[in-house]
Amino acid sequence: MAFSTILAERIRHALARKRGITEKRMFGGVGFLLHGNMLVGVWKDSLVLRLGPEASNVALKQPHVKPFDITGKPMRGWALVEPEGLESDLQLADWIDQTLQFVRTLPPK
């Protein structure tokens, strides 16, 4: 299955004014990086989040959020938001803001 180009475009729009953002094809989808560190991505029709261990544990308690697991081993500190949790641009922006809070603490690559 290809990834959602509509979701990718919504992310591009949400990140348009942010400095240090690059885009890269990965894991059968597309990833958006901040200074070389993965920030968010699109896998199939879901949003991939890099939140860090603490924030991901909180996020996993939210509706439509599950562990990011495409290999049989969930990635610690990551989460996947299903389309039902991304219906509004405000929801998407909130998730992106949460990832920015964590990824900004990482050293540039």
**pLDDT digits over 4-55, tens only?**
999 999 999 999 999 999 999 998 899 999 999 999 999 999 999 999 999 9
Whether the predicted pLDDT of 2 surpasses 90: no
Q: What is the model's pTM?
A: 0.94
Q: What is the pLDDT of residue 51?
A: 98
The yes or no reply on domain 5-86 and CATH 3.40.50.720 is: no
Distance (Å, whole) CA 18 – CA 53: 24
**pLDDT of 27:** 81
* pLDDT(1) > 70: no
Distances (CA, A) of 65 to 23, 58, 59: 23, 10, 7
Are the C-beta atoms of 81 and 46 separated by less than 8 Å?
yes
In DSSP terms, which residues pair with 49 in a beta bridge?
A: 40, 79
